């Protein structure tokens, strides 16, 4: 009798689990898909349980000589060949599937503007499929949390980017950059003129964010950066079967590798958090991001919830990655573009001499570098560090007689919009910083077509820090070195969460 009861209970639990899985993997996504179809959206047909992932993994349609023989800025069909193909067939708004999850692909800024106008920041979510997939990298840090949790995290972090805090960070940025430059000078003097710019800049940016935000020394910063980079490569180097049911258990080796790296990074950061908690050193007036996180956690604030130790670690990990990656890549792509366009390299050098001269490089002086701002804007247009934005609707979104149903996943293709000739004109794939001379949107005929830092209330919180670091590092480098493209450089911008040069970025660097 008892055995019969246990078997009956197991059968009931199995049935409940099966029904739950059928609902989450089939019924709910299919319902959202039907609602989107009723709005007139089509797309490539999916195959259960892979969706369109298998087609996304194919390389057909991509010019195989792109990386070796061409140095063109027309990169969308190389970075996202599948989206480029599907756009030709289905337009700039269509449905595609990652495993059992339908996504609304968006590369139409007018559509995006109308839709986003109806949604306040805290009601945007992140697709669950990405939250689960990227958990080892971001956990429940700011880029992944939603609703009131997002409001709370943003409230805690915002004071880090006040003008006073930014000014205090600038001297550490100068110091770290000069150390890198001294290493370069030693290499150049020994006859080694080729330097992998991307690797060097990413490492130095990691040291900068570690010192300015967490008080971590260079050796430990390097360890964290190396582990984050390894984790990034493990998670994003190839188009994986994201969204396919139980894929983490099927590709168990990669899953365990990512978890192991994530835990190692967590352990390192936890040591710094505990050390800061126990420190008796008075830091008044010198508080960094870690101080702010810990201070806010001492008492229940108006948001009524303290961050758990795990959330503190996740916030540090998120900020560490996002804080150094995007700026470092923007600087790296800039140096490549300036190496290709020596006239602009010289123009910026002249502007630096005129505006900065012999003065200390600080936040006030940098505001006068107007041409450098144009260059930065153009670099972020051609090679956006964040090549896409993901959202998930947390309520029905209604506009223009359309209803985007609650739970809809969205992939907003920033690279496609930044390279759209209908938005930017026929010279869209040319490096022309002057397009930003009199227009912060570079002459784009729809301002939502230019999204270097996202959009709306969830726009990147650290953009002012990024602007400052970009100008400081570039000012120091251009004052001391000239740059040319190395014959060994293979132009292959690739999507690995951010937009990176797949084979590094070797440049010929010479002292002035």
User: Residue 53 is part of a domain; what is its CATH number?
Assistant: 1.10.630.10
Structure tokens at 41: 């959206």
Alpha carbon distance, N-terminus to C-terminus of the chain: 89
Closest CA to 202 of 231, 220, 225: 225
Residue 1 lies in a domain: no
Domain that holds residue 422: 39-511
Q: Is 21 domain-assigned?
A: no
Which regions of 20-133 does DSSP assign to beta strands (E)?
93-98, 101-106, 124-125
Ranges of the chain with pLDDT below 50:
60-62, 64, 68, 299-301, 303
- Is 3 a member of any domain? no
Q: How many domains does the chain have?
A: 1
pLDDT at res. 247: 67
Predicted TM-score of the model (pTM)? 0.89
pLDDT in tens, 355-401: 998 888 878 888 899 999 999 999 999 999 999 999 998 888 888 88
- Residue 22: what pLDDT? 57
What local confidence, expressed as pLDDT, does residue 499 receive? 93
Question: 207 with 221: CB under 8 angstroms?
Answer: yes
Angle, alpha carbons 75-476-468 (nearest 5°)? 70
pLDDT at residue 417, as a whole number: 97
- Looking at residue 287, its pLDDT comes to 67
| Domain contains 7 | no
pLDDT of residue 1: 62
**pLDDT confidence of residue 227:** 80
Condensed to tens digits (0 to 9), the pLDDT of residues 34-71 reads 777 777 889 998 887 888 888 888 764 445 455 545 68
Q: Is the peptide bond before 296 cis (omega within 30 degrees of 0)?
A: no
CB < 8 Å & 24+ apart, contacts of 299-308: 301/152, 301/155, 303/148, 303/151, 303/152, 303/155, 305/149, 305/152, 307/152, 307/153, 307/156
Q: Is residue 465 part of a domain?
A: yes
- Per the domain annotation, does 25 fall within a domain? no
State pLDDT tens for residues 280-321.
666 655 667 777 777 765 544 454 566 778 888 888 888 877
What is the crossing angle of helices 370-382 and 463-480, to 10°?
110
Asked whether residue 479 is assigned to any structural domain, the reply reads: yes
C-alpha separations of 350 from 104, 346, 374 in Å: 46, 6, 15
Between CA 205 and CA 60 the distance in angstroms is: 36
d(CA 433, CA 32): 42
Query: pLDDT at position 219, please?
Result: 74
């Amino acid at each position: 009798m008892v055995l019969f009861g246990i078997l009956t209970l197991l059968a009931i639990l199995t049935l409940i689990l099966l029904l739950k899985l059928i609902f989450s993997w089939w019924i709910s996504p299919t319902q959202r898909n039907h609602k989107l179809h009723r709005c007139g959206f089509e797309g490539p047909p999916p195959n259960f349980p892979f969706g369109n992932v298998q087609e996304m993994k194919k390389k057909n349609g991509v010019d195989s000589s792109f990386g070796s023989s061409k140095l063109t800025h027309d990169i969308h069909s190389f970075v996202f060949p599948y989206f480029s193909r599907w756009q030709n067939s289905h337009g700039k708004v269509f449905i595609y599937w990652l495993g059992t999850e339908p996504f609304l692909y968006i590369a139409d800024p007018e559509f995006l503007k109308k839709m986003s106008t109806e949604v306040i920041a805290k009601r945007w979510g992140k697709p669950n499929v990405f939250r689960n997939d990227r958990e080892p990298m971001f956990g429940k840090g700011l880029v992944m949390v939603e609703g009131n949790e997002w409001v709370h995290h943003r409230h805690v972090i915002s004071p880090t980017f006040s003008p006073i805090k930014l000014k205090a960070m600038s001297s550490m940025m100068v110091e770290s950059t000069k150390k890198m430059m001294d290493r370069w000078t030693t290499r150049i003097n020994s006859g080694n003129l080729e330097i992998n710019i991307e690797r060097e800049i990413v490492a130095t940016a990691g040291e900068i964010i570690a010192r300015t935000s967490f008080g971590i020394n260079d050796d430990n910063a390097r360890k964290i950066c190396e582990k984050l980079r390894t984790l990034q490569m493990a998670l994003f180097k190839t188009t994986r079967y994201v969204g396919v049911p139980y894929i983490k258990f099927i590709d168990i080796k990669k899953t365990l590798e990512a978890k192991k790296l994530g835990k190692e990074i967590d352990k390192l950061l936890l040591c710094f958090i505990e050390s800061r908690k126990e420190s008796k050193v008075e830091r008044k007036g010198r508080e960094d991001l870690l101080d702010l996180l810990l201070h806010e956690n001492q008492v229940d604030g108006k948001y009524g919830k303290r961050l758990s130790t795990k959330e503190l670690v996740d916030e540090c990990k998120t900020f560490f990655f996002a804080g150094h990656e995007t700026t470092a890549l923007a600087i790296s792509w800039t140096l490549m573009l300036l190496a290709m366009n020596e006239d602009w390299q010289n123009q910026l050098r002249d502007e630096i001499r005129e505006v900065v001269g012999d003065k200390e490089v600080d936040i006030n002086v940098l505001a006068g570098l107007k041409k450098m701002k144009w260059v930065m804007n153009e670099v972020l247009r051609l090679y956006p560090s964040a090549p896409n934005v993901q959202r998930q609707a947390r309520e029905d979104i209604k506009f223009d007689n359309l209803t985007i149903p609650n739970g809809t996943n969205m992939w907003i293709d920033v690279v496609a919009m930044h390279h759209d000739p209908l938005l930017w004109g026929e010279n869209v794939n040319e490096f022309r910083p002057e397009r930003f001379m009199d227009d912060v949107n570079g002459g784009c005929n729809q301002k939502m077509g230019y999204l270097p830092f996202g959009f709306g209330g969830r726009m990147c919180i650290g953009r002012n820090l990024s602007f400052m670091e970009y100008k400081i590092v570039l000012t120091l480098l251009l004052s001391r070195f000239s740059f040319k493209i190395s014959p060994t450089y293979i132009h292959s911008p690739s999507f690995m969460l951010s937009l990176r040069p797949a084979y590094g970025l070797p440049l010929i660097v010479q002292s002035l």
